[in-house]
């Protein structure tokens, strides 16, 4: 069960799976390897159910897991296979507003030079300051139309214009602006024409249209001057299945 595949700056592919361990593919040797963890670290690091990987540079990885929070791994590439040189784990802590808001992390993307966006399943959206190592959570708030539509976030994407999109199990959210230091989200759901409210993935094509994978087919969001148009595709249109 492969959850994520990302390419680092050296062209190697890092693969997150449901099983234990973190894998990488060396294109020069056309082989897969498992990242080595020393016996001293083996009992401290739990690299399994990896849903998100973000290479920081050639030597660091941010890794999101299902149940074990987020890791920052320093990779020693002088060993064969590569090994973990050092690590730091970030987890949810009760009564600590600066901690990760949930230990199930499905997506990690870069916001700017000092911040990451982190999607959690049940803890909403986290903005993480990599220098202070503090998290700020944005959550669903009842009776607030500008808040997230759900705290159950499956995927994140930053478009070419710099807007953040968050796919949840209750629709798509676009971060449009900040008002009184609080983010303002607009929502796209089945009411607006999505085939389904569960959004698994988001990509942008070279015409700046967004493509969403859902539980009931694929949706194309066409950005027009002052609005959006949604086209849905499902099994009847030739897809091999409806869930992506």
How many CB atoms are located within 10 Å of the residue 176 CB? 13
Burial of 116-152, coded b for 16+ CB within 10 Å and e otherwise, reads bbbbbbebbbbbbebeeeebebbbbeeeeeebbbbbb
pLDDT number for residue 244: 82
The predicted structure's pLDDT at residue 56:
92
Low-confidence ranges of the chain (pLDDT < 70): none
HSE at residue 208, side-chain half, CA atoms within 13 A, is 9
Whole-number pLDDT of residue 52: 98
Distance CA 114, CA 228 (A): 32
- Rounded to two decimals, the pTM is 0.95
Q: Is the peptide bond before 81 cis (omega within 30 degrees of 0)?
A: yes
């Amino acid at each position: 069960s492969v959850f994520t595949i990302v390419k680092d700056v050296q062209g190697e592919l890092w693969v997150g799976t449901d099983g234990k361990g973190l894998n990488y593919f060396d294109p020069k040797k056309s082989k897969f390897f498992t990242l080595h963890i020393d016996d001293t670290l083996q009992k401290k690091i739990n690299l399994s159910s990896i849903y998100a990987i973000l290479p920081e540079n050639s030597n660091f990885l941010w890794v999101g897991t299902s149940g074990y929070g987020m890791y920052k791994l320093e990779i020693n590439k002088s060993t064969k296979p590569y090994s973990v040189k050092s690590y730091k784990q970030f987890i949810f802590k009760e009564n600590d507003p600066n901690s990760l808001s949930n230990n199930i992390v499905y997506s990690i993307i870069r916001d700017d030079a000092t911040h990451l966006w982190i999607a959690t399943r049940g803890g909403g959206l986290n903005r993480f300051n990599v220098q202070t190592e503090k998290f700020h959570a944005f959550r669903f708030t009842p009776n607030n139309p500008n808040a997230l539509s759900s705290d159950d976030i499956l995927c994140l994407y930053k478009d070419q214009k710099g807007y953040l999109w968050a796919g949840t199990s209750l629709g798509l959210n676009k971060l449009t602006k900040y008002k009184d230091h609080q983010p303002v989200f607009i929502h796209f759901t089945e009411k607006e024409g999505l085939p389904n409210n569960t959004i698994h993935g988001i990509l942008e094509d070279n015409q700046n249209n967004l493509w969403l994978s859902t539980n009931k087919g694929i949706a194309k969001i066409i950005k027009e001057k002052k609005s959006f148009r949604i086209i849905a595709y499902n099994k009847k249109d030739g897809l091999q299945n409806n869930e992506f």
